[in-house]
């Protein structure tokens, strides 16, 4: 299932059909074309660069045929007006699918939960669903999408359009069994640092205290902080409800200061993407999964809840692609961003620590004091705090 690809959509095409004709055809076929918000600034001066990154679709790929497009994703989509759809779906086809929720934390014994499914377009002829669980020992799902917790662990429940199997969505399910005894390794602080201790507890307790594994870590409303720094990576997620609705005021002010300093040095640094809501990331990530398969998507796109862009503390500068690496602006950021409270979040050579490819353009606000400490250490955030960045499954 990890390699499921979109067969009829999202593919690159060099067909010379003018956009207008395609758009008319697409509308007639009930498709949703995502070619709005052409962002020429992301292409200017950087030709022939088709990077796959956490941030953007390859610049020649566009015309997503999923109906789950949002304003946020259009910001990160480099649409080209020349691109057309190679093989439009037959009229009446399902082109998009959304759920009322994408995460479920369940306890064994709880009532089943059932996400509501919306398939688009509204007049699609066959809206039948196929449901499956990656691990029925953790949670089962019936024909109409009722999810029942079975045993502790994590699994994914997927619903697929029978009409168009390229269209699907997933619910990440985590289950605890309050009656099950488990052995958990927890780190407990001692006077001189940390020591590993084996403790036996119930699964429910383990979840409740999962974050209380070191003295300098705290979890507030589901958000993890270490030494006051919000932590979001493949291990630590933000809850769906966490939504600052844009960059934080502090981040904005710090970035303005950074921009002024760069400008004084004759360089122009600007944001091409900053805040993304959980929902926007969900759409973006699932579009990537539909196109490239989950395994590939995980190397360059964060799963919803795991993107730093949801923090409101993160900015992608100038051009979110490998072509940015060797620019004077990237070098300037590398040497100077810390002075304004930002770190290069995914540095070169730290891929196995951060879980992401080098991203010279992605800066993260941590405050001036912490940025200096991290910069001086030469470590990435994960190394500096001694944490991992790995998905649980």
Interface residue list for Zn ion (CB under 5 A) = 55, 316, 362
Residue 309 CB, shortest distance to Zn ion, in Å, is 6
Answer yes or no: are the C-beta atoms of 120 and 65 closer than 8 Å: no
Tokens found for residue 75: 């910001």
Residue 257 CB, shortest distance to Zn ion, in Å, is 20
Minimum CB distance to Zn ion smaller for 234 or for 362: 362
CB nearest Zn ion: which residue?
362
Residue 248 CB, shortest distance to Zn ion, in Å, is 16
Return the SS3 of 253: helix
Answer yes or no: are the C-beta atoms of 138 and 150 closer than 8 Å: yes
Minimum CB distance to Zn ion smaller for 177 or for 281: 281
Answer yes or no: are the C-beta atoms of 381 and 293 closer than 8 Å: no
Give the helix ranges, DSSP H, for 59-147.
Answer: 71-75
Place of tokens 């970035």: 255
Phi, psi of 236 (to 5 degrees): -105, 125
CA dihedral 23, 73, 79, 38 (to 10 degrees): 90
Minimum CB distance to Zn ion smaller for 55 or for 85: 55
Cis peptide upstream of residue 322 (ω within 30 degrees of 0): no
C-alpha to C-alpha distance for 254 and 148, rounded to whole angstroms = 47
Residue 346 CB, shortest distance to Zn ion, in Å, is 8
Residue 356 CB, shortest distance to Zn ion, in Å, is 9
Minimum CB distance to Zn ion smaller for 155 or for 232: 232
Minimum CB distance to Zn ion smaller for 85 or for 292: 292
Residue 362 CB, shortest distance to Zn ion, in Å, is 4
15 — alpha (psi -120 to 50), left (phi > 0) or beta?
beta
Minimum CB distance to Zn ion smaller for 56 or for 139: 56
């Amino acid at each position: 299932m990890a390699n499921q690809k979109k067969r009829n959509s999202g593919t690159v095409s060099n067909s010379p059909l003018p956009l207008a004709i395609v758009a008319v055809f697409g509308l007639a076929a009930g498709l949703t074309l995502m070619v709005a918000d052409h962002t020429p600034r992301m292409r200017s001066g950087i030709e022939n660069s088709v990077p796959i990154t956490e941030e953007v679709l390859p610049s020649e790929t566009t015309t997503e045929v999923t109906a789950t497009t949002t304003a946020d994703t259009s910001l990160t989509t480099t649409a080209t007006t020349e691109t057309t759809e190679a093989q439009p779906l037959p009229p009446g086809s399902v082109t998009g699918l959304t759920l009322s929720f994408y995460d479920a934390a369940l306890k064994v014994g709880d009532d089943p939960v059932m996400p509501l499914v919306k398939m688009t377009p509204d007049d699609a002829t066959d809206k039948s669903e196929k449901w499956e669980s990656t691990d029925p020992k953790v949670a089962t799902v019936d024909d109409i999408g009722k999810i029942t917790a079975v045993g502790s662990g994590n699994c994914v429940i997927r619903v697929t359009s029978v009409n168009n199997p390229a269209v699907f969505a997933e619910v990440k399910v985590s289950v605890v069994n309050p009656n099950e005894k488990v052995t958990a390794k927890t780190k407990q602080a001692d006077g001189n640092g940390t020591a590993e201790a084996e403790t036996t507890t119930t699964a429910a307790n383990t979840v409740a205290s999962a974050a209380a594994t070191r003295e300098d870590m705290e979890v507030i409303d589901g958000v993890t902080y270490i030494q006051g720094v919000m932590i979001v990576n493949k291990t630590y997620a933000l809850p769906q409800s966490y939504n600052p609705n844009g960059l934080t005021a502090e981040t904005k002010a710090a970035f303005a200061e950074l921009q002024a300093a760069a400008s004084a040095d004759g360089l122009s640094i600007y944001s091409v993407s900053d805040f993304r809501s959980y929902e926007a990331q969900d759409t973006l990530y699932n579009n990537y999964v539909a196109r490239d398969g989950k395994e590939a998507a995980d190397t360059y796109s964060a799963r919803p809840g795991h993107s730093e862009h949801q923090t409101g503390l993160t900015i992608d500068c100038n051009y979110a692609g490998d072509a940015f690496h060797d620019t004077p602006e990237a070098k300037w950021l590398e040497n100077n961003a810390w002075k304004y409270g930002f770190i290069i979040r995914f540095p070169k050579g730290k891929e196995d620590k951060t879980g992401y490819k080098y991203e010279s353009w992605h800066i993260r606000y941590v405050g001036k004091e912490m940025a200096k400490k991290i910069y001086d250490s030469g470590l990435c955030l994960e190394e500096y705090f001694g944490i991992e960045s790995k998905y649980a499954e």
